[in-house]
Structure 1
Amino acid sequence: MSRSIFKPSPNDNIKDLFKSLPFTPEQILRASPVAGTETEGHSAIIRNNFVIENGNNLFLHIHPSLLTLHDLFANAVSMYPNNDCMGKRLYSNTIAGDYDPFYSWESFAAVDLRKRNLGSGIFHILKNNQFRTEIHNVEDFVVSLYSGNRTEWLLTDLACQSYSLVNTALYDTLGAGTSHFILELTKSPIVICSKEKIQILIDIQIEKRLPHFLTIVSMDLLTERERSTYERQAYELGLELFEISEVEALGARNPVRERPPTPDNIYTISFTSGTTGNPKGVEVHHEMAVSGVTMYLAQVDVPKGEGHEMCFLPMAHIYERGLVASFLSIGTGLGFPVVSSPLTLVEELKALKPTTLASVPRVYSKMESELKEVTVNSQNDVFRRMAKEIIGRRFESISTKGVFENDCLYSEIFTTELKKLLGLEKTKFLCSGSAPISNDTVNFFKSALNIGFAEAYGLTESFGIMCMSDPFASDSGSCGLPGVSGEMRLRDVPQMGYTSKDKGGPRGELLLRGPQIFRRYYKNKEATDECFDKDGFFCTGDVARFDEQGRVYIIDRVKNFFKLAQGEYVTPEKIENKYLSSTTLVNQLYVHGDSLETYLVAVAGFDPHVMARFLHRNFDIVLNPETHLKEIERKLNELPVKSKILDVLNEEVKPAGLAGFEKIHNIFFEVEPLTVAREVYTPTFKLKRPTCRTFFREQLKGMYREGSLIKRSKL
């Protein structure tokens, strides 16, 4: 049975086949349980109905001729050679000392030539490296990337695809020491990076020599002074330094024939933060990546051979990589903002006018706040009333009839002007992923802008988006249903009260299987074995619910780590241990995060004598720790006192190296909040987190109502 969506034919016109995608909602926006697959402790396996009705085999690719990412890009070059491929705003081009208010573009054909030159140049500089020894493999190696989003990042990625070179990304948010760990584990001989990363790499090499590390390639032009300084340091460490333009020029003079990959070749190793220890590297094979592209294009209605998209989310993360691969395969131009920051996003959107926009909840929350300030919270009484009326009517139309419309002329004018204000006048829909988003936010964007809004779910281990809701659905809250390249089931989590027999639909840990799921962690068999069950399903650690349509709702986490609203993974045990080992102010700690909030709060226990001294020293409050326990508790929970304690706690924990999102922003005090009697501790004094969350529900809600005391103290 073919695993391609389209069967091969002598008269195939690939461009027409692509344009026939996505399938109709009736074909693709339904999912059903597979008969006979429900077992004890597990729900039935859920598959997309298109899969069930077309041979019941999950799909690997769109067409048998398109088996790798290299194939997809080469096909796009042949179909759309003159289309915009990658672009950016040029500096001091039309405006002295500033960036153009528009994007300048390179065509698919031009990028195709440059990536061949770069690929050839990479082989040339490594084979001719003066520090090369017998330990250096210069035929089959890992290329490391270290920068923010930029055209050179994409160019390097495409070169690696076409020359069967594995790549990986270094990025600072994984923590200090991680870059050294990744370079050492992968034995990567070359890092292609932005200018500000060169000294970091040199310092890594100074601190602990990496014997396989040979070459640094700067994405930026270097001044004569910078070049001299970096080259001198690099030479002393056995490193050569190039600018990327030099490598391309060397490749043009010394061409190497492309080495197209097979579906089983590794495309990239994407490192993700784990619960403990070093990050795990997800091996993404070309078959897995192409399956992800197949899922996206079969389901999502995006224009073919036209339009622009913004590379706003980090390309070091798979969420963006999957979107980039999908858009390139259909001839869409990718715009790279000057800075990927919410503060400048609207400026970039106005310059690019993207067809869709993919981002994360914290960015949409900021946009929502700004949009409300000029609409439903406007200082102009007349405009405020009009905005509320239009948005309210449209919400009613969408939620009851599923109809997106402008029901009168002033409604159309209002919506058009709002879209122009944000640079979204050409945008069909928005998409949010990485963490749950508030239904209110989704509904506001739909109603205010008359625009679709999709919610997506996926992981690094699934090449990003595994399922995605219909942007124009009348309701919100689900992540859609499984696509054509993966299947799902739920495993009971009775200790948390989730089972496949629950009223309202089966609930449990979400398990994933199919060609879109990774095969292994890089050089980490133990971690690989731990995350797959006996039937080959990947255990996500996310708790989900299936509704009667087969849609997925993410409702909880099984494992003791979670995501905040900005998508950062948080390991509470690590944070608790860091604080407890850094201070004497608290002796018990339960750290809590909410996927709709951007910061952590905590419940803390304390020694009355320690806190009595603290109150006396900082607030001139004298209380006897033996006789005034309740009064001490009350004082500690007053805002000025809590704020001061948090300042001290976060100062004391600084040497532990916690990231900003790992800091506690609000805190609740009791003398001994965590006890076995309250059933929040096991008999061996391990925290029972679900029970803690329930027991301290009111205190946690109260802290989020109060807000971040760290932010307040900095205002």
Structure 2
Amino acid sequence: MGNTKSEIVYSVPISDKVPGESCIYRHPLCTDSLVITPHYEIQTMQDAILKTFTRFEHRQCLGTRLLPNPSGLLSTQGFNSNANGQEIIRNSSQAVLKQNQVNSMYQQSIDDLNCCGGGGYMVTNQTNIELNIANPSNNQQKTNPTQANQQYFSVSRNNGLLKTQTQGQYNDQSNNESNANLSFQNIVYQQDFGGAKTEYERQKRIQQIQLSTNLSFTEKQTLIDIENKKFELQKASILTNGKSSLMGAKQMAKGGEYCWKTYKDLFNTVKNLATGIRSLQLTEQNDEQEKQTLDLVGIWSRSREEWVIVDCANVLYNNVTVPIPEQIHASDLSFILEDTQLSSIFCGRNELERLYRMIRSSQKAQVVMSLGNLQNIICFDEFIPSILQKFFTDQIGINVITLKFVIDKGAQLPTIPFPKISPDNIQSFCYTTRQDNGKPIAAMLSHRNFVSFLASVWNISHLKPQQDDVYLSYLPLSHIYEKVSIYAALYAGASIGFYSGEISTLIDDMFILRPTIFCSVPSFYNKLYQTIQDKYFKKTEGVERWINEKALEQKLQAHRQSPTADVKHTFYDNIIFKSFRNSLGGRLRLAFSSSAPLFSHVHQTLKLVYGVPIIQAYGCTQSTGLAFITNALDSSEGHVGGPTLNTEFKIIDVIELGYTNDDIDETGQKIIRGELCLRGPGIFEGYFREQEQTSKEIDKNGWLHTGDIVQLLPNGSIKIIDNRKNIFKMPQGEYVSPEKLERIYQQVNSITDICIYGSPIQKYLVAVVVPKKDLVDLIAKEYGLPTSSYIQNCRHPQVKVDIISDIQKLAQKQKLFSYEIVQKIHIETTPFSILGLVTPSNQLKRQQAYKLFKQGIDSLYEFDS
């Protein structure tokens, strides 16, 4: 399906071949030397970020979308009142929720309903919240924002969930709006009915609230009814001076527009934050084998602007960012906290609640959850429920403060000067997974590594971002792929908009933001492809289906014949495929896919239907995210391109797996296959406190042994075909340790042996299982089968049903993530030890097992394409 264009050469040899290895290959533009920096004056990421702030200070930088809620109440977010003049708040009479009843509801929601996973709180029949009127003796309602002692509250809704009500005291001693000063004294939780999955469920919960509290919420009404007394939510525009600050909301359109900070805003915030971090002593010093002192700062959150703010502060002031994966098991979180001895973590309120639940679960199980040296939690969200504050402070001994508090603290002090930073200084950790035990392990990435990444992008004109680009960030910033994408956008002076927090609204976010650059993973593109197939090809009939198929066929033909591999077509793009492009905002010019190979048919269809090149990239944490990338002018699929300008590679024999530099393909042609090795300034500095593991992966000549098995194609590009390590990536980019999961699943009573298999191009895990004879005999007895025939009885469909049920029950009990749960099984009747698949130390010979069971494994994925 399309040959690689002959004029595109991805790599060239720069050395002779040696036994057991290929030649060393580089990008055609780097035959003499690799590219180290994007510009000579840029040696560290501190240089790069400072250059960005000075060049683009008035351009918009970070954007967050504010969503309206279903009942018509606008969502709110905190802003410095002197940032853009007027601020909007909602005011009412002095109506507040009883704090103790709210805390009771909050406690019940977390403990009994597991907090619904989204930061909202489910309504149950047992919930009984009263709404009282503060100062009932004061019957005079004050609505003039310039009057003294005015009470205010704001209703906040995030991700569709009604969350907070804020009470504040307004004081104006001079009766002058420009001197207004709003001081918030109390923040409490309001009942949620937005976590419902369906409109029917939401309406049912509204009725429950109305019955138990006399509250009235309607679809179009923005009134709170309390015992037939209506207090209208009024808007008050307050002019504030530079010293004032308040919780407010930008006036926004019905669809939920993006609110932006400029590069100047970001720079000022970053400097104040760094000063606050230093004054409050929120970093933890660690000596990495006496090479350098590392000031560690943890971040645990989804992709959001506060993550970038904290990271930029670390970049400029020589702190080391320690990203904690958003979705993490309690045991792995404890390991990271012990490993790094972090004293402070920046996180969102959702993560704060998750930590609360982790600790509570361990307490109920009478197991101690180690938090290492954790002393401070800095919450990105300004509202922290008092029950959480009290729990962490009084019971755990951890100080909980807000990001705003740290920034305000820094703003009151002289800005600390920028320290001198060396390219060798560690800038960030990035946790990956050990292949032997599945535990987290921290790769250390230096300023040189990240500057090298910028160099690899900036010297390819059709790939680098531009000032007028808009980038949508939604992938986890704890992954190196998203982190370096943010750095590229910042260095270009582009605008970065963040998704609203829910994958289900990602397409809507794209429609509102209208990005020009988008980075994602194969799982997202696979869903887009399936939607197109279901809606426009499989379910259409007659002329409509013929037109769609003909349009795609004609575009494909034109694409193959175009000297520039153009994916656009004037007629078909404007008539047939326009709605597709507009659904993603209508401005997309580049899309990137990484973390796993993209199916060729998916790649081909999407780039033609949406009229945008989809660039495939390959890299790993240890190569600072990018090592190979395809050319936008290449019309072929099925490979990940050639090396970047800062990378050289070679391919070494893996004889035990049957891959060598002298392989022969099915046509009799010689091909080069083997393990991919990388070298260059982008290769990481090693693992934190794991010198032995570092030496296993980086040899004495500086070559990183990736473990990925590749095939070198005639034009110098590579194709990923296998992996020699016992860890693999899923399509979404998550790493899976089969050994770790096999140890867990061995607890299933119905299993004797299990071998788990996964692949970057398959959506879920499968397993080869040897059932226990007791289970098979029980099923045989139930169905009247002779118990003497174990092999025959293993073929009964109920055997698979029972084992999968047991596996999923255990997975739920162990709180495994969805991608760690085996979805299908192949039944094997001979124990692995008899098949010669077990080592003397009782370890599974994995590659031999995969080879032996290949036919059975392939059959489990047979109907998924």
What range is the shorter-chain TM-score in? 0.7 to 0.9
Give 1:630 shift.
4.3
Question: Which amino acid counterpart does residue 694 of structure 1 have in structure 2?
Answer: K
State the secondary structure of the residue aligned to 1:269. strand
5+ long unaligned stretches in structure 2: 76-159, 161-253, 288-292, 665-669
1:96 to 50, 74, 77: 74
Q: Distance in 1 between matches of 2:531 and 2:548?
A: 14
Instruction: For residues 293-329 of structure 1, give each alpha carbon's deviation from its aligned partner in whole angstroms, at most 9, with x where no partner exists.
Output: 1112223534421121011110011110011111110
State the secondary structure of the residue aligned to 1:634. coil
In the superposition, relative to structure 1, how do residues 84 and 688 fare at CA in structure 2: closer, same or farther (>3 Å)? same
State the secondary structure of the residue aligned to 1:512. strand
In the superposition, relative to structure 1, how do residues 182 and 574 fare at CA in structure 2: closer, same or farther (>3 Å)? closer
* Residue 34 (structure 1) aligns with: 14
2:428 to 268, 281, 304: 268
Contact 2:299/2:347 (8 A) holds in 1: yes
In the superposition, relative to structure 1, how do residues 443 and 410 fare at CA in structure 2: closer, same or farther (>3 Å)? closer
* Residue 25 (structure 2) aligns with: 46
1:611 to 776, 786, 790: 776
* Residue 87 (structure 1) aligns with: 63
Question: Which amino acid counterpart does residue 157 of structure 1 have in structure 2?
Answer: D
Q: Distance in 2 between matches of 1:440 and 1:390?
A: 16
Q: Distance in 2 between matches of 1:466 and 1:622?
A: 60
Q: Distance in 1 between matches of 2:52 and 2:510?
A: 25
Q: Distance in 1 between matches of 2:359 and 2:267?
A: 34
Instruction: For residues 667-706 of structure 1, give each alpha carbon's deviation from its aligned partner in whole angstroms, at most 9, with x where no partner exists.
Output: 12232164655x6556876544333333333322222236
More strand by share: 2
* Residue 249 (structure 2) aligns with: none
The structure that has the greater radius of gyration is 2
Give the 5 Å matches for 1:551-570: 551-570=717-736
Give 1:522 shift.
0.7
Contact 1:28/1:49 (8 A) holds in 2: no
5+ long unaligned stretches in structure 1: 1-24, 709-715
1:544 aligns with 2:710: yes
* Residue 764 (structure 2) aligns with: 599
Q: Distance in 2 between matches of 1:27 and 1:301?
A: 18
Question: Which amino acid counterpart does residue 247 of structure 1 have in structure 2?
Answer: V
Instruction: For residues 128-182 of structure 1, give each alpha carbon's deviation from its aligned partner in whole angstroms, at most 9, with x where no partner exists.
Output: x9xx9999xxx96211111111111000000111111111012254432222222
1:692 aligns with 2:692: no
Contact 1:400/1:474 (8 A) holds in 2: no
2:33 to 42, 57, 78: 57
Instruction: For residues 448-467 of structure 1, give each alpha carbon's deviation from its aligned partner in whole angstroms, at most 9, with x where no partner exists.
Output: 12221111101111111111
2:858 to 692, 701, 708: 701
* Residue 74 (structure 1) aligns with: 50
* Residue 625 (structure 2) aligns with: 464
* Residue 648 (structure 2) aligns with: 487
Question: Which amino acid counterpart does residue 308 of structure 1 have in structure 2?
Answer: V
In the superposition, relative to structure 1, how do residues 577 and 523 fare at CA in structure 2: closer, same or farther (>3 Å)? same
Question: Which amino acid counterpart does residue 103 of structure 1 have in structure 2?
Answer: Y
In the superposition, relative to structure 1, how do residues 30 and 670 fare at CA in structure 2: closer, same or farther (>3 Å)? closer
Q: Distance in 2 between matches of 1:432 and 1:253?
A: 44
Give 1:106 shift.
0.7
Moved more, 541-550 or 438-447: 541-550
Contact 2:568/2:608 (8 A) holds in 1: no
Identity value in percent? 25
Give the 5 Å matches for 1:465-544: 465-503=626-664, 504-544=670-710
Contact 2:433/2:737 (8 A) holds in 1: no
Give 1:367 shift.
1.1
- Superposition RMSD on alpha carbons, in Å? 2.9
Q: Distance in 1 between matches of 2:754 and 2:40?
A: 56
* Residue 455 (structure 1) aligns with: 616
2:819 to 661, 671, 676: 661
State the secondary structure of the residue aligned to 1:221. coil
* Residue 672 (structure 1) aligns with: 830
Contact 1:563/1:595 (8 A) holds in 2: yes
* Residue 481 (structure 2) aligns with: 319
Instruction: For residues 30-84 of structure 1, give each alpha carbon's deviation from its aligned partner in whole angstroms, at most 9, with x where no partner exists.
Output: 3211123x222111111112111xxx22222111211111211211222222111
Give 1:597 shift.
1.2
1:589 aligns with 2:568: no
Q: Distance in 1 between matches of 2:718 and 2:544?
A: 39
State the secondary structure of the residue aligned to 2:627. strand
Give the 5 Å matches for 1:163-562: 163-201=317-355, 207=368, 210=371, 212-222=373-383, 226-227=385-386, 229-231=388-390, 233-235=392-394, 237-254=396-413, 255-275=415-435, 276-299=437-460, 300-341=462-503, 343-379=504-540, 381-401=542-562, 403-404=565-566, 407=569, 409-423=571-585, 425-503=586-664, 504-562=670-728
State the secondary structure of the residue aligned to 1:705. coil
Q: Distance in 1 between matches of 2:649 and 2:427?
A: 25
2:278 to 111, 123, 130: 123
* Residue 5 (structure 1) aligns with: none
Give 1:416 shift.
2.4
Q: Distance in 2 between matches of 1:512 and 1:375?
A: 43
Question: Which amino acid counterpart does residue 31 of structure 1 have in structure 2?
Answer: S
Q: Distance in 2 between matches of 1:670 and 1:201?
A: 41
In the superposition, relative to structure 1, how do residues 239 and 260 fare at CA in structure 2: closer, same or farther (>3 Å)? farther
* Residue 158 (structure 1) aligns with: 312
Contact 2:325/2:476 (8 A) holds in 1: no
Q: Distance in 1 between matches of 2:323 and 2:785?
A: 55
State the secondary structure of the residue aligned to 1:60. coil
Q: Distance in 1 between matches of 2:767 and 2:372?
A: 44
Contact 2:445/2:624 (8 A) holds in 1: yes
Instruction: For residues 245-302 of structure 1, give each alpha carbon's deviation from its aligned partner in whole angstroms, at most 9, with x where no partner exists.
Output: 1111111111322325221111111111222153110111000011011112223534
State the secondary structure of the residue aligned to 2:663. coil
State the secondary structure of the residue aligned to 1:141. strand
Question: Which amino acid counterpart does residue 422 of structure 1 have in structure 2?
Answer: L
1:645 to 783, 800, 803: 803
Contact 1:666/1:707 (8 A) holds in 2: no
Question: Which amino acid counterpart does residue 317 of structure 1 have in structure 2?
Answer: H
Question: Which amino acid counterpart does residue 713 of structure 2 have in structure 1?
Answer: D
State the secondary structure of the residue aligned to 2:429. strand
State the secondary structure of the residue aligned to 1:57. coil
1:111 to 253, 263, 266: 266
Question: Which amino acid counterpart does residue 264 of structure 1 have in structure 2?
Answer: D
Contact 1:45/1:489 (8 A) holds in 2: yes
Q: Distance in 2 between matches of 1:653 and 1:317?
A: 25
Question: Which amino acid counterpart does residue 66 of structure 2 have in structure 1?
Answer: L
State the secondary structure of the residue aligned to 1:283. strand
Q: Distance in 1 between matches of 2:629 and 2:662?
A: 25
Contact 1:149/1:340 (8 A) holds in 2: no
1:572 aligns with 2:738: yes
* Residue 81 (structure 2) aligns with: none
In the superposition, relative to structure 1, how do residues 216 and 273 fare at CA in structure 2: closer, same or farther (>3 Å)? same
State the secondary structure of the residue aligned to 2:861. helix
Question: Which amino acid counterpart does residue 485 of structure 1 have in structure 2?
Answer: N
Instruction: For residues 107-138 of structure 1, give each alpha carbon's deviation from its aligned partner in whole angstroms, at most 9, with x where no partner exists.
Output: 111111110011111112228x9xx9999xxx
The number of residue pairs the alignment matches comes to: 661
